[in-house]
Structure 1
């Protein structure tokens, strides 16, 4: 580099000779932004010319000492140039032969000795006689160099910013993973406590049934112990008349005792319990450490989320397993209408026949188990609140029924709760609280506990004051997402309420026509019966439509998913063509 590089880089006017020039110094920082401003001072330490405007920032923000000297001579001065060998002939540099010619034919600089080789060339220019003004060209080149330098500075700054961002991202990745791990551990702890609570409740119920079974059998045994000695005595010493009388009497007692023993034999008691995990969880475990994905800006993900655990539900397929028609049969007074469906944890399906006021238990082939329970009112919706307990609404009546279901499919009324509102659909919000949709009430959604305590959402969620007629709306609740779902059949809309952030999203879509019942689907998605389209619509809690599944029935209105997420039951309300379908839910191959 030239010894006076800075002076050379700031020439605004140059002479027509090599090795000596006339210059006027310009401010170097200004020139980097394509501004031409005369320098007034010179920093001897930084070897940089500055104007009055750039002088203070230079001394304040640039590190190091600064020996600032005022430029007294503002007029043009002559500066001797050291070209550092660039003015020497490339072939005769050792002999220190200076460049005197330029051959246009060969695009090559030459000295006097080189001219022997270029005698026949037609375009050889003697530099001392050159008339072309190279100042403008060199000035443009200088400006290009300064612009390129600014670009390089920007790239260096970007690289530094990227390095800093990567370091910060690693720290955030660790924090995000720790937070997700803590959430999962907390969720497992909560699930464990809920499971143990249910297990204790189940044990208490079974112990009670065991006690009843043992007490009944013990009483029969005591009765036998009383009867047998008397029977032996009559056999040994009784007269024919006494034998006849005692024979008749003992036959009646024997029949009653046999009936009691046979009844106890029919009562099946569980001696063990076990836990089952959802398929989504076992699938997660099968993925191993690959269940976490590293994302970068290049993956077109959010820059604030360099690492994420995908929350997008996986696509699913529905395969029809069983389809049954529902004609009027047996003691039915009306054509069956299954207004409510839900699965027990062991896979049995509970259905409500609204028209004939029955609660029926079905097996995996949709065959009836046990004896149906007969209501005093028309049942509307059902939800399983524990391993053997059901909660049933009655639509147009202000009453809720609590039922228990035994392992031998005996349905027993355990409690009848009078309510202040008419409840239509019902779903679980927590182990002890349920959400209900209402009819003929300006509060479209309310809560009720298993103890019969009613409450509103006013304290943590703002709901529109809208009164629905019966069957015009239905609800469900996605517990893991704290999302409340309300369908509006007349408005063809599904409302999604985030109970934590107190926000609401209204979802409309051409495939959502007359939405009726809704339930929680695979991957914490929402499944909605689209009556007007004879289909099931699956969506995320953010309102994104994941899929539409046509069902071979008119006006599907009731829906539920098994606790393990592998089966789906759907019924309809079309007059004269009532059906019940059972589907297998499987993950779609991408």
Structure 2
């Protein structure tokens, strides 16, 4: 038995694939001396392949009859297929000879020692003769998977082409509007193109990753398909059986990879949209241009001021709601995070009652609140229908989708390495977060869950904040990070491009809490102990202070069109939610 295994093993090493199905055979006596020569004849009596050099010694010195035929004329000799290592045990690198039915495992002689007590341990040579696997469906499934991989690659190419064409289209549309208000739209165009190119860069990277992964799958499928054809047509029963078992897990893995790549949706188009107030832009004093992709997703490029310098604001309170315990609440609500959807609906997260709620322009609840397992900290709208919620000490970030009928659905949960508190958008695919119990007070996280740190050139306060001691916002058009330090009564402004920073203190900034981007690339921050909102430039100049009729303002956010502002507070027992109309102050 041992000598037969040695011969079979040599033959396994003798065959190689050339192209898809051509097989060459090596001289077996030469292989025993580690010499590789192509066999030209086959001895039917000795069942041995020989080269021209070994043929005569074989006939003369080996006893018995020798029926010698040319290899190309021999149809009775078994064709040896290179199984590319699939006939070897991965654990012991020995030839597979058995199949354990109890564990559904292919086994070599070393494995048999482990499985010797199993009830059904079959010898593959015998069982493969009794029951041959049907490889035809496997072959068809490989063809189908190849087709799906081709579809994904074509989709990637189409998406990338569409993105390139969209950049040119955006430039043309902006130029058309530029004729009416040249100075404003030249600035808007540059800003919009910059955002579009940033989005394209990020999206092309996603497309390339998706395409590369699909190419790898296709390459593997090509190899497996080629082998499948050869094993199906010329493989021995044992080889077909082994190949069938080996392919079970491989096929599941490939199908899973194909399915995962198909679920990754890449944008293929971008368009530009102009607000309805465009005709009265000069009278309004500020407005915005928005970048759309995939039809209706929107990236806010932040308000554009007609004035070269930011100007003070006028706040008019539209609504005030007392946040009371309702029938479905366990505790008095505490709205720790606010943001507006692009259609004007207000999103809020209730920390105490573990909810996410949607409110209309009358601050009336829409739909059914989404109930979390843990207490949410903050929320940001990353697109027209997607929310991102942080959960602080639970080290979790959740992505939620919001439908037009106000149905909230969990789409993804991301485990993080830091405790994230406040969150805001930095780009279409990246967000800035404030942390606590972490020496890095601000970090970044992508919508795919990739965490990263800011460049070391940014000098953050050398302290580790506790929960609720710091919050953040990001002025996209000015590449400026803003960090509030409650106990130091300070706002820190960081220029992420130049690596510069400034600390802003003022008698009106006392225990600053939440902050958001204001009109004209300014900053609005809640001054807790002054019960007011402070308006300032990124250079630290105070533009105005606005008292609010609530104790301890906590969270603040502007609507996407820059016309409304929502503020919630943290005073226990007297918690409120205010909605303001915001406009430039009249001279």
What's the TM-score once normalised by structure 1's chain length? Answer: 0.51
Aligned pair partner of 1:422 in 404, 419, 422: 419
d(CA) in 2 for partners of 1:585, 1:555: 20
Aligned pair partner of 1:353 in 350, 354, 362: 350
How far residue 329 of structure 1 moved from its aligned partner, in angstroms, is 0.8
Describe how 1:322-341 pairs up with structure 2 within 5 A: 322-341=319-338
Is the 1:342–1:562 contact (alpha carbons within 8 Å) kept by the matching residues of 2?
A: yes
Aligned pair partner of 1:476 in 465, 473, 477: 473
How far residue 197 of structure 1 moved from its aligned partner, in angstroms, is 12
How far residue 317 of structure 1 moved from its aligned partner, in angstroms, is 0.4
d(CA) in 2 for partners of 1:324, 1:350: 15
The aligned residue for residue 192 of structure 2 is 188
Structure 1 residue 508 corresponds to structure 2 residue 522: no
C-alpha change, 1:309 and 1:571, in structure 2 (3 Å) is: closer
How far residue 396 of structure 1 moved from its aligned partner, in angstroms, is 1.9
The aligned residue for residue 378 of structure 1 is 375
d(CA) in 1 for partners of 2:184, 2:518: 23
The aligned residue for residue 317 of structure 1 is 314
Is the 1:553–1:572 contact (alpha carbons within 8 Å) kept by the matching residues of 2?
A: yes
Aligned pair partner of 2:407 in 410, 416, 430: 410
d(CA) in 1 for partners of 2:462, 2:575: 34
Is the 2:312–2:535 contact (alpha carbons within 8 Å) kept by the matching residues of 1?
A: no
User: Residue 523 of structure 1: SS of its match in structure 2?
Assistant: coil
Is the 1:389–1:402 contact (alpha carbons within 8 Å) kept by the matching residues of 2?
A: yes
d(CA) in 2 for partners of 1:347, 1:181: 25
How far residue 178 of structure 1 moved from its aligned partner, in angstroms, is 11
Q: Which has the higher Rg, Structure 1 or Structure 2?
A: 1
d(CA) in 2 for partners of 1:369, 1:512: 35
d(CA) in 2 for partners of 1:488, 1:513: 10
Is the 1:279–1:565 contact (alpha carbons within 8 Å) kept by the matching residues of 2?
A: no
User: Residue 494 of structure 1: SS of its match in structure 2?
Assistant: strand
Is the 1:401–1:416 contact (alpha carbons within 8 Å) kept by the matching residues of 2?
A: yes
Deviations 1:162-210 (A, max 9, x none): xxxxxxxxxxxxxxx9999865432232456689999xxxxxxxxxxxx
Describe how 1:168-207 pairs up with structure 2 within 5 A: 184-191=188-195
The aligned residue for residue 544 of structure 2 is 547
Is the 1:318–1:583 contact (alpha carbons within 8 Å) kept by the matching residues of 2?
A: yes
User: Residue 580 of structure 1: SS of its match in structure 2?
Assistant: strand
Unmatched segments (≥5 aa) in structure 2: 1-180, 203-269, 286-304
Unmatched segments (≥5 aa) in structure 1: 1-176, 199-272, 289-307
Structure 1 residue 498 corresponds to structure 2 residue 492: no
Deviations 1:122-158 (A, max 9, x none): xxxxxxxxxxxxxxxxxxxxxxxxxxxxxxxxxxxxx
Structure 1 residue 536 corresponds to structure 2 residue 540: no
C-alpha change, 1:280 and 1:316, in structure 2 (3 Å) is: farther
Count residues in correspondence.
322
Is the 2:458–2:501 contact (alpha carbons within 8 Å) kept by the matching residues of 1?
A: no
C-alpha change, 1:564 and 1:183, in structure 2 (3 Å) is: closer
C-alpha change, 1:186 and 1:549, in structure 2 (3 Å) is: same
How far residue 409 of structure 1 moved from its aligned partner, in angstroms, is 0.2
The aligned residue for residue 433 of structure 2 is 436
C-alpha change, 1:280 and 1:426, in structure 2 (3 Å) is: farther
The aligned residue for residue 562 of structure 1 is 559
User: Residue 507 of structure 2: SS of its match in structure 1?
Assistant: coil
The aligned residue for residue 445 of structure 1 is 442
Is the 2:191–2:477 contact (alpha carbons within 8 Å) kept by the matching residues of 1?
A: no
Which has the higher relative contact order, 1 or 2, with Cα contacts under 8 A spaced 6 or more apart? Answer: 2
d(CA) in 1 for partners of 2:330, 2:571: 18
How far residue 500 of structure 1 moved from its aligned partner, in angstroms, is 1.3
How far residue 318 of structure 1 moved from its aligned partner, in angstroms, is 0.4
How far residue 522 of structure 1 moved from its aligned partner, in angstroms, is 1.0
How far residue 312 of structure 1 moved from its aligned partner, in angstroms, is 1.3
d(CA) in 1 for partners of 2:199, 2:361: 25
User: Residue 546 of structure 2: SS of its match in structure 1?
Assistant: strand
Aligned pair partner of 1:523 in 520, 530, 541: 520
d(CA) in 2 for partners of 1:274, 1:458: 32
d(CA) in 1 for partners of 2:532, 2:336: 17
d(CA) in 1 for partners of 2:347, 2:473: 17
User: Residue 470 of structure 1: SS of its match in structure 2?
Assistant: coil
Aligned pair partner of 1:465 in 452, 462, 465: 462
Deviations 1:21-53 (A, max 9, x none): xxxxxxxxxxxxxxxxxxxxxxxxxxxxxxxxx
d(CA) in 1 for partners of 2:423, 2:532: 22
Deviations 1:532-582 (A, max 9, x none): 000000000000000000000000000000000000000001010010000
